[in-house]
Amino acid sequence: MIYLDGNSLTLEEVIRVACEGEAVELSPEGKEQILASRKIVDGILEEEKPVYGVSTGFGDFSKVFIKKEERSKLQRNLILSHATGVGTPLDQEVVRAAMVLRANSLAKGYSGIRLATVNLLLELLNQKITPVIPCKGSVGASGDLAPLSHMVLVMLGEGEAFVDGKRIPGKEALAAKGLSPVVLSGKEGLALINGTQIMTAVGCIAWKEAVNLMKAADIAAALSLEGLKGTRAAFDRRISLVRPYPGQLATTENILKLTEDSAIIASHKYCHKVQDAYSLRCVPQVHGASKEALAQATRTLNIEINAVTDNPLIMPDTGEAISGGNFHGQPIALVMDYLKLAIAEIGNISERRTNRLLDMHLSNLPAFLTAFPGVDSGLMITQYVAASLVSENKVLVHPASADSIPTSANQEDHVSMGTIAARQVREILDNVVNVLAIEIMAAAQGIDFLKPLLPGKGTVAAHKAVRAILPHLEKDRFLSPEIKAIHDFIVSGQLVEIVEAETGSLKV
């Protein structure tokens, strides 16, 4: 059970709720904070003064004063009118992450929502009622208004949800679990949708995937170093200690661990080759810089998951309702764009290593890693695929946050596009997993040609794991399913798990 107080949620806990279905409950502190905040809003509702989103309309309609008897209708209409998303549904794990993030923000006690309303949101989460949220439609300022509105629709008995593997109407979803729709009171609709929880949720899932990717990339590079008979000289710790970026040091340590006791590397210790190409020699610098970007994203996400991104904020110490701009997604937008570039670079350097493995003039291995060149093409076209993916990533990596389109009659005249950036991270990431899968296939094939010499402690474990899934490529065969098999093996975390069982934890 994870307890929410608005202050202490961790990324690991978000992942446990989103991906493993761990139950969630408000802590005693969280309940007290919500009750205190709501008491202030109840007082505001009794007054006849304009407070944004409580007794006024929204966006450019903030100039319109709303009478007491229409304020509940105002909140319901807000959800109905703002649920305008389009596109395929977000992954259910992303939606679950968004739900726990929104509840945690509300638990901090600055949003003025009722305790019963937050409890219903948590009931949806714990009862595995997952709202259907279209993936597109947020500009990332004023919060993720459209997608979060789709989340709240189900709480109203509207919209759609996934329950027990079926997509059904929201009203049926609630009834199936013995729950009743909520009737929103003043401020509640705005409290539920004015925030950055969708872009942050996508970012949290991308963070989990990126941590695994960074480790898998080091494994792939180590396999290629073995297959290409590269040297460990470039991974001398002293090199990284005089340029002491933590990411570079981590990568150096990983490659040394992975290739420890390598008979392949020992076999050519005194060869004529002075140094390797950049794609091998500069792995600590390139992979390490990407790890630095991931570290920055981690810092930002850790702040955002315990932040209040509502508007207006209800100040518990003074009872004020203050309008501000915490809903603006710029902090997430910028780090997601940074992470896009960092992950794309992992793919760029991986494809170059694959190219070297396949080029007989660079590898001293059979052309395209086939024993029967001409009749067989070997792994020739896998490099074409990797090239197409890294090229596609060069388009996707364009910063979404560089764009802004005014909305709400220019009241909201600068927006972050953070949700677009976050979604693109995962698209780029999946492309790079495929690029790494191709490199790993090629490196494993190259290592086969070096028998009876064996690779190092970690690389031999990786090689065996790959060969347990795919046999050596003796003759040409259908390779697309094999790329997918290694892709899935990486995504599942099993590759990293098997290797770490031999080497100990790899660093990120």
Burial grade of 507 (CB within 10 A; 0-12, 13-18, 19 or more): middle
Q: Which amino acid is located at 312 in the chain?
A: P
- Could you tell me the two tokens for 55? 């007794």
pLDDT digits 0-9 by tens, 226-276:
999 999 999 999 999 999 999 999 999 999 999 999 999 999 877 777 799
Mean pLDDT score, 203-231: 98
In the block, tokens 């990533």 appear at 393
| pLDDT, average across residues 144-166 | 97
pLDDT band for position 54 (50/70/90)? confident
Closest CA to 142 of 229, 53, 262: 53
| Residue 56 binned pLDDT confidence (cut-offs 50, 70, 90) | confident
Judge whether 214 and 289 are in contact, CB under 8 Å: no
Give catalytic status of residue 278 as yes or no. Answer: no
Query: For 190-208, what is each residue's pLDDT tens digit?
Result: 999 999 999 999 999 999 9
When pLDDT is averaged across residues 459-466 and rounded to a whole number, the result is 98
Give me the pLDDT at residue 408, please: 85
Q: Among the residues of 64-178, which ranges form H helices?
A: 71-82, 92-107, 115-126, 145-155, 170-176
Percent of the chain having pLDDT more than 70? 99
437: helix, coil or strand?
Answer: helix
0.85 exceeded by pTM: yes
379-402 burial: b if 16+ Cβ within 10 Å, else e: beebbebbbebbeebeebbebbbe
Q: With 70 as the cut, is the pLDDT of residue 60 above it?
A: no
pLDDT at 106: 98
Phi, psi dihedral angles at 321 (to 5 degrees) = -115, 110
52, 245, 270, 338: the catalytic one is 52
* Residue 71 scores a pLDDT above 80: no
Residue 314's pLDDT band (boundaries 50, 70, 90)?
very high
Per-residue pLDDT, 73 = 85
Q: How confident is the model at residue 66 (pLDDT cuts 50, 70, 90)?
A: confident
